[in-house]
Amino acid sequence: MAEAEKLVEVWRGPILEGVHRGHAVICDARGEMRASWGDPDLVFLPRSASKMLQALPLIESGAAELMGLTTEHLALACASHQGAAIHTDRVIKWLTALGLSDSDFRCGPQEPSDRPARDGLIRAGALPCQMHNNCSGKHTGFLTVARHLGAGPEYVDPTHPVQVAVREAFEDMTGLASPGFGIDGCSAPNFATTLRGMARAMAKMAAGETGSDARNLASARLVAAMARHPELVAGEGRACTELMRAMGGAAAIKTGAEAVFVAILPGLGLGVAVKIEDGGTRAAEAVIASLLVQLGVLEAEHPAAQRRMFGPVTNWRGIEVGHYRVLI
């Protein structure tokens, strides 16, 4: 097993203050690695970076078609959103169309990270609901599939038909039997795979528009929806949203907890998977931005790229006191 590599340095003035080690893989849809750092066979939990794979049954089952879901719905199904009004208003409208309510979710309440939404709750003396959970779009997708299949309400149970379908799609796309799962922050099972497997899955999604079977078509629709609605996939100020806007649809990218980041590059037929060993999100953002620049889909001089790749590190007075250095 290969060791994690030094991927990002953090400098404060002339002093090296920190180092982030990790793993990264660039892969094509055949599973051939184009480049790798660290251990490509590292088994890990992709966390929210797997939401596009978890959303495949929403389309493949016929549920999306029957419900008349739009690209906005599909983008939300892949989202780790901020709980802003643009997110929760759409989630509630979708949930209402299903004849369901907030109590039907199994993701748990979460304080919105969107400041206006959070402050609005405080002023109203209200508590956050499950619709504010960053995964509520994904869970509305799960509920849509469950309703379509006539399955029970406990859709996060690993043996539930929704999760059985998710696991089948996940294993087919990664090309590997998952060795197990952990329970995610939103209570859904999160299936493990290797970094190479995850990069392969992202490459298969990138190649979706070149195929004609149901999984190819579903992949292409999800990728197109993410690229079309980057503000729904994350939110203002977030790396996913800002970098996708900067690339103008050339790639769909998604973060996951504990410093996971993936990218889907339809024009190149490539997938990228990144995992930072210490869980440092700033390093995952720096590495994914650097790789997107190297692959020619992100302009190195774009402010969103510069901010992720180099910082700067600032203090409370706004003074620039350091920077990042990406080593790949």
* Within a domain: 310: no
| Number of domains the chain is built from | 1
**Residue 289 lies inside a defined structural domain of this protein:** yes
- pLDDT per residue as tens digits for the range 83-115: 999 999 999 999 999 999 999 999 999 999 999
The residue-averaged pLDDT of 64-73 equals 97
In a domain, 2, yes or no: no
Q: Which residues lie closer than 8 Å to 254 by C-beta, 6 or more apart?
A: 48, 49, 51, 52, 78, 80, 226, 233, 240, 261, 262
In this predicted model, what pLDDT tens digit does every residue of 179-219 receive, in sequence order?
999 999 999 999 999 999 999 999 999 997 666 689 999 99
Q: Which domain does 95 fall in, by range?
A: 25-303
How high does pLDDT run on average in the chain? 97
Q: Is residue 116 part of a domain?
A: yes
Residue 14 located in a structural domain: no
Question: What's the rounded Cα separation, in Å, for the pair 301 and 306?
Answer: 6
Residue 5 covered by a domain: no
CATH code, domain with 230: 3.40.710
Average pLDDT over residues 36-40: 98
154: in domain: yes
What is the C-alpha to C-alpha distance for residues 14 and 182, in angstroms, rounded to an integer? 41
Q: Is the pLDDT of residue 31 over 80?
A: yes
Give the chain's length: 328
**Distance between CA 236 and CA 179 in Å, rounded?**
36
Classify residue 4: in a domain, yes or no: no
* Beta-carbon contacts of residue 50 (< 8 Å; ≥ 6 apart): 170, 190, 191, 198, 256
